[in-house]
Chain A
Amino acid sequence: MNRSPVRDLVVGLFVLAGIVALAYLSISIGGFTWHNHGGLKVYADFSETGDLTVRAPVVIGGVRVGEVSAITLEKDFRARVDMILDSALQLSTDTSASIVTAGMLGDRYIELQPGGEERNLKSGDKILYTEPAMILERLLGQVIYGITKGSDTQPSPSSGPKTKSGGP
């Protein structure tokens, strides 16, 4: 069991490589942060959150400024969404929050529109103005309902003889 400097060096390099790989996975890929960083904690009530999830981004003008930390149901059956925002952010008290969708069927996120009030939101404050999530299925349902009602009163002219030309 004598010392062998070359082997020790190789083992040291191996352990270093492993730790670098771990750190890369944790910090760069996994986005590791200590949870006790003091962010601006605000919340907002929505009548509909769609499939908004915890850790969904909160953006202003497309720039990510924080994330959703919790989604719970209030006593009045509205959904309370807690957010942790960048602590350097100066948001006025009449800021409004809306749940929007990335693309047609993409993930939900929260978009904030800053207002013009003098006073700023503090940690623990509530965002008063909110806009609920749009549920695509409900909108489609309304559109289809509208179309069928329309076709009852005004039947569409029958289409011509079927052809096989239609294809994607």
Chain B
Amino acid sequence: MANAIAQLGNRSLHVVRGLGNMAAFAASIGLAVVTPPVRPEAFVRELYKLGVLSLVIIVVCGLSVGMVLGLQGYHTLERFGAEQSLGALVGLSLIRELGPVVTALLVTGRAGSATTAEIGSMVATEQLDGLRMLSIDPVRLVVSPKALAMIVVMPLLTAIFIVCGLYGGYLVGVGLMGGDPGLYMASIRTSVDFYNDVEACLLKAGVFGVLVGLIATYRGYTSAPNAEGVSAATTSTVVMGSVVVLLADYVLTALWGV
């Protein structure tokens, strides 16, 4: 009995220690970002890896999510004779919920895992130790451009995803089902408000960028220095990143109604 309680205490300490390490890691990234020297070259390279290389799946998934929303929404709204509200349905669901969340999940799978694998393999091949030998801070040189790029990339990809989704809904609602193009756009414009909806969407995307960037870099940085450790860290990034994004989404929506 006492043994079980001790084990529980040990587990709790382990969790708390992990969170504390993560917070310290986040603080060191933040410090590296705001203090000189800045490295725009490394940042641009990470923008390319995380942003440009994720662009194809973001566009394809945005289009298909919008098309599915258009199809499902049209059939449901048709029952109530409210097909003219299709734009509001597609626009609000994409901007308030699906855009930030699905983008964050896709970026976690595409760019987050790649980030973890890259840093993890650098750990496994002792490259980070080599940098430390040269008294170069690996967090500043390797980690912080990746984390910063993730924060910048997430709102941009979210916006591209939503625009593609709106167009996908247009393709189905107007092109396939024969709805009115003007009504579709007008329905989006009247229902979507910058302060309530678009701002909330950007806030969510920014928070998800911070979370995914932090988890991906931390998992890679702390991975066990062997091939098995790198693969475990990559899996853990995808699982933990997705779960944390969905939990944070609920918390943000519940607390601030965004």
Contacts and interface: CB of A to CB of B under 8 A. Distances in A.
Interface residues of B, number: 29
A55 B197 CA distance: 14
A31 B189 contact: yes
Dominant SS among interface residues on chain A: helix
B159 A21 contact: yes
B81 to A, nearest CB: 12
A31 B48 contact: no
B42 interface: yes
B48 A10 contact: yes
B76 to A, nearest CB: 18
Interface residues of A, number: 23
Contact of B188 (A14, A19, A29): A29
23 contacts: A7-B48, A10-B52, A11-B44, A11-B52, A14-B52, A18-B51, A18-B155, A18-B156, A18-B159, A18-B160, A21-B159, A21-B162, A21-B163, A22-B202, A24-B159, A24-B163, A25-B95, A25-B163, A26-B198, A29-B95, A30-B198, A32-B194, A55-B193
B193 A14 contact: no
Nearest to B54: A14
Contacts, number: 74
Contacts of A26: 194, 198
B141 to A, nearest CB: 10
Interface of B: 39, 41-42, 44-45, 47-48, 51-52, 55, 91, 95, 155-157, 159-160, 162-163, 166, 188-189, 192-194, 197-198, 201-202
A14 B53 CA distance: 10
A15 B156 contact: yes
A93 B47 CA distance: 58
